Chains A and B, each alone.
Chain A
Amino acid sequence: MKRLFLYRLAVVAGAIALLEIFCLTGVIDKITMQPPHLIARDLYRLLASGRMNGAIWKTSTNTLLALVLALGVGVVAAALLHRLRALRDTLDPLFATYYAVPVFAFYPFFIVVFGLGDLPQILIAFMLGVVAMIVNTLNGLDRVPPVLLKTGRIMRLTPIDTALRLTLPAAGPYILTGVKLAVAYAFIGIIGSEFILSRGGIGYEINFAYNNFDNATMYPLIVLILLASIAINTVLTRWEKTLLARRGAR
């Protein structure tokens, strides 16, 4: 476990070192990319200057908002769908094909309807995440052992208690898989829509820097996004591991 982590670290460090060498020796020219140590320096300066605080704040709050919406709506919708067999049978094939729909294609439509503010961006991110939540939560609910449902009936739990205290916790690991996907989708949705048409946010800033050949801003911001998503994923994976370890191999 610890050794594996060290190997992983070595691979990443090696890749960065290689990039550094390529940049310094001119294999990768200066206009394409700065060497990693300069990117790190620029990132530090960018953060210290506070110039990006507004963009960081906007992107993270919007992502969080879309994520919370996707989680809440996703879990509730899944719990309801699980009880409404007929509705679920109708929607199941739609969920299966949902990922084939390029949600971003709706972005212009959203802008027409909801205006140029943050709302269309949050909606895009929400739409990407919520289906992952629904599908995974339903999957988990399907696998709740019947004996647990019988136990709930013997204990005379109300439908809401049954969901909150029995079936949703039982589906926990599957829901967490949904959360991990929803986090990724929320990020993609927000930053992607900021790229396309927006007046702020990290995606917008990256696009702006790109259009102005401002590598000293663009690369540090890309790295910032990378670091943020790695950090979040690490935390979630840790959490998942403790959860699964507690439950054993069952």
Chain B
Amino acid sequence: MTTQVALSNVGKTFPASPTTAALHALGPIDLELQRGEFFAVVGPSGCGKSTLLEIIAGLTPATQGSVEFEGRRIAGEAPDSIGVVFQEDASLPWLDVTENVAFGLRRSKLAKDERDARVRDALRLVGLSDFATSYPAQLSGGMRQRVCIARTLVMQPRLILLDEPFGALDQQTRLLMGDELLLMWRATGATVFLITHALDEATMLADRIGVMSARPGRLIDVVETNWPRERDSRIVERSEFGAITARLWKTLREESLKTIGRAVPKPAADA
């Protein structure tokens, strides 16, 4: 295993604006992502998960600490070979599905055949082959999100960051999308960094799960699942599945209560 991403002492404080005070949103965080692993992050809302993702992606600079991607420092510019799937719909409504997926390849030096082949493969992988000529407006929210996943895949990134990509989907679809995500992860060999608010999703998908505290978000626990690389949603039937999810919840419960502004109940209530 080699380290692909190294965060050391990373933090983010948003500066004060005329209407708001300065906000310490994140950190300090130390974290290393191993090449090819599937890392999930869970944490109460507003704890800085998206901020952490944007720092790794080079979309926003950390105000403290250092971030390295494949040995190079990231400083406010998106490095090559990182792909991001955002929480919001980022499909381009004026392009059809094929053009959307090929969007990032336009300026690449690939031959046209190779480009078309990549787009076709990516569409097959996300199950959208039959919708190649549809426009995003004709698709459901989940399908649009898959368009964005395919658009990321064709770039063949070595690190894929996903910010609650299935947030808007129902439970069954989410489980199936999870299966597809695992397929992609194995097929591409890329490192996956997934933010999710669903604990069972994190447990089912990841090799390791980072649990974040309430804002400013720090890592308060990192749980290893020890799942085999060949796995799918049937993993939820294993006894360890319940145990891991329970451990995540136990750690998160206090933190979540903090964010909704409720006092943490006395330990006696847990017994």
Please give the residue numbers on chain A whose beta carbons come within 8 Å of chain B beta carbons, in ascending order: 145, 147-148, 150-151, 153-156, 161, 165-166, 169-170, 172, 243, 246-250
Contact = CB atoms under 8 A, between A and B. Distances in A.
Contact of A154 (B57, B135, B136): B57
B192 interface: no
Nearest to A172: B94
30 contacts: A145-B88, A145-B90, A147-B86, A147-B89, A147-B90, A148-B90, A150-B90, A151-B84, A151-B90, A153-B58, A153-B78, A154-B59, A155-B103, A155-B104, A155-B155, A161-B107, A169-B92, A170-B92, A170-B93, A170-B94, A246-B94, A246-B135, A247-B93, A247-B94, A247-B137, A248-B93, A248-B136, A248-B137, A250-B93, A250-B137
Given A154-B59, A166-B92, A170-B92, 20 more contacts: A147-B86, A148-B92, A150-B54, A150-B84, A151-B86, A151-B90, A154-B78, A156-B80, A165-B106, A169-B94, A170-B93, A170-B94, A246-B93, A246-B94, A246-B135, A247-B93, A247-B135, A248-B136, A248-B138, A249-B137
A249 B104 CA distance: 26
B82 to A, nearest CB: 7
Contacts of B83: 154
Interface string B137-162: 11000000000000000010000000
A161 B136 CA distance: 22
Interface of B: 54, 57-59, 78, 80, 82-84, 86, 88-90, 92-94, 103-104, 106-107, 135-138, 155
Interface of A is mostly: helix
A154 B93 contact: no
Contacts of B59: 150, 153-154
Contacts of B137: 246-250
A212 to B, nearest CB: 52
A20 B104 CA distance: 61
Interface of B is mostly: loop
A166 B120 CA distance: 23
A145 B104 CA distance: 18
Nearest to A155: B104
Contacts of B80: 156
B130 to A, nearest CB: 19
List 6 A-B pairs, minimum CB-CB distance, nearest first: A248-B137, A247-B93, A147-B88, A155-B104, A147-B90, A151-B90
A148 B86 CA distance: 10
Contacts of B57: 154
A150 B84 CA distance: 9
Contacts of A249: 137
Contacts of B155: 155
Nearest to A248: B137
The winner among A147, A166, A249 for most chain B CB atoms within 10 A is: A147
Contacts of B138: 248
Contacts of B78: 153-154, 156
Contacts of B54: 150
Contacts of B94: 169-170, 172, 243, 246-247
A157 to B, nearest CB: 8
A161 B108 CA distance: 13
Nearest to A151: B90
A165 to B, nearest CB: 7
A169 B92 CA distance: 9
Nearest to B152: A154
A145 B86 CA distance: 12
A248 B118 CA distance: 28
A247 B136 CA distance: 7
